[in-house]
Amino acid sequence: MEENVIHIRNLTKKFGDFTAVDHISFDVRRGEIFGFLGANGAGKTTAMRILCGLSRPTEGEGTVAGYDICSEQEKIKRNIGYMSQKFSLYPDLTVRENIRLFGGIYGLGDRRIREKTDAMLDMLGMQSERDQFAGALPLGWKQKLAFSIAMVHDPGIIFLDEPTGGVDPETRRRFWEMIYDAAERGVTVFVTTHYMDEAEYCDRVSVMVDGRIAALDSPDRLKSEFHAGNMDEVFGIIAGRAGREE
Amino acid sequence: MTAIEIKHISKRYGKIRALDDISLKVDAGEIFGLIGPDGAGKTTLFRIMTTLMLPDSGSGTVCGLDIVKDYAGLRRIIGYMPGRFSLYQDLSVKENMDYFATLFGTTVRENYGTIKEIYSQIEPFADRRAGKLSGGMKQKLALCCALVHKPSVLFLDEPTTGVDAVSRKDFWNMLFRIKASGVTIFVSTPYMDEAARCDRLALIRDGSIIGTGTPSEIVSGFPFRLLSVRGSRMYRLLKELRNIPGVISCFSFGDSHHVTYDPAVTDRVRILARLSDAGFGDCTAMDIMPCIEDCFMWLSGRRDVPTAGQDGLRA
């Protein structure tokens, strides 16, 4: 069954006379790992904010998780997960408090939060760390916890905004193994990254240039289309054509 | 000639050990890379070398000047671009440049030759406030301000973090041109692919140097054999590879898996046969040379540190 979890048509966002996102259209299928690439300033963050229900488009239409991006933003927020490297956990709260806080924000009841907390701590092997401050955890654990918490309300889709920036090479790869596990369970993953080796791990990637989607396909097909040996070269060719300075 | 020499530098923040007995030597005129993830201690080391912080123990010199005693003189001959944008957001591009030039008792005009190539790219925006510049232009302005007094040594703390792959390459091309003008460059980065562009480098993790040398020296120190394996079901394949005897580690590297194996126990043919038995008959495998990232991962794992030390800044 091929079903589109994200469906976007002619999405446009203008700030004054500057067009940050310029009539982009794309679909993301259920269970797909979709890489959303682009140079700094290409419009990725603006587009992603609209998809997450944080900003309204100037023009265009679409749905995320079955909800309208213009009129059902609160429903979108409730039905997606979000995680970034910059912000994901409250360092001054314990592991358990973080789970409780986010569970509460997503409207889970007390009993459900207790069950979730236990199940999550078991799955992560973190029962004995449950009363430690999140900020004191090793980075690899923090990431696993943040990822699990972003899915505390069992969303069908998760947005990952540069989840691995500055992370050491092994932790970065372990994190991608979690992404694969989630995708195998049917979760749709929408991810941005500046690491081009990670672009290879996606089922499909789009490359934004100057507010538009300049290319969208599987890594293999992009590589053959652009006669490139790897995604780094593909990105160089496509993003190198950018006309606008960030 | 030695541009930077630091010996046995250690620094703690309370119980947290940020740097543990760091010693390094940087030759004049080279690009020296400090490569490591967030929290490894890179910024702490920069602050100590640029006289902004005192080490708990250890000593060091930059261009022969002591990092503690000669701090005033040392500050005049170095340029420092911190990781976080630290220029005056409310001043224009030109005002920032003039300000930094004046601080160092010089003028933009006097040193225009040094910065011309980079400054010419932001000069069209000379009257724009620094806070209103794009990320790439802020970076160029910061670099100009760090170079405006013709420093002998340029310290760049993670200049490319959060920067896209194309802009990172442009930035490194700028560094090569700065190097060509005779400036010693000490640069840190979490991107392992930038390591190969340094003349020499040090790999840092959890406050300790885990490897140092030229990129080729570091690669030649890799003690095992490495196989690049491709197949159709990559994630399943990854898990299968880790179960094969003689396989020391296996990680994704773009469109292939890098398999570190012990040649005394297994080889390419045997690994492929094992995979075929397990239902992965469509795999291809090729012996390859390790890259810096392979070496970093091996050197990280080799240290007798529990995984709980991963975060760096821990006691």
Condensed to tens digits (0 to 9), the pLDDT of residues B86-138 reads 899 999 999 999 999 999 999 999 988 888 888 998 999 999 999 998 777 88
> Chain A residue with minimal CA distance to B301?
A170
Indicate the domain borders of chain A.
Answer: 1-79+155-246, 90-154
Please give the pLDDT value at position B207: 95
What does the pLDDT average to over A86-115?
93
Please give the pLDDT value at position A246: 52
Q: Mutation target for B interface from A168, A184, A230: give the one with most B CBs within 10 A.
A: A168
What does the pLDDT average to over A145-150?
95
Which stretches of chain B score pLDDT less than 70? 302-315
Contact A187/A198 with Cβ under 8 angstroms? no
Tell whether A144 is within 8 A of chain B (Cβ). Answer: no
Locate B37 and state its tokens: 């993830």
| pLDDT tens track for A41-82 | 899 989 999 999 999 999 999 999 999 999 999 999 999 999
Q: List CB contacts of A182: < 8 A, sequence separation 6 or more.
A: A147, A151, A158, A189
| Rounded distance between C-alpha atoms, residue A41 and residue A209, angstroms | 9
Nearest to B254 among A139, A142, A230 (CB): A230
ipTM of the predicted structure?
A: 0.85
> Chain A residue with minimal CA distance to B38?
A166
pLDDT higher than 80, residue A232? yes
Please give the pLDDT value at position A165: 83
Tell whether B228 is within 8 A of chain A (Cβ). Answer: no
Residues of B in contact with A171 (CB under 8 A): 37, 310
What pTM does this model have?
A: 0.87
Please give the pLDDT value at position B305: 40
Please give the pLDDT value at position B306: 38
Architecture of the domain made up of A1-79+155-246: 3-Layer(aba) Sandwich (3.40)
Band (pLDDT 50/70/90 cuts) for residue A245 is: low
Q: Taking CB atoms and an 8 Å limit, are A140 and B39 in contact across chains? A: no
User: B234 to chain A nearest CA, in Å?
Assistant: 9
Residues of B in contact with A176 (CB under 8 A): 252
DSSP code, position B308 = G
What does the pLDDT average to over A107-123?
95
| pLDDT tens track for A164-218 | 887 888 889 999 999 999 999 999 999 999 999 999 999 999 999 999 999 999 9
Residue B182 sits at φ, ψ, to 5 deg, of: 100, 5
Q: Are strands B153-156 and B184-189 parallel, antiparallel or unpaired?
A: parallel
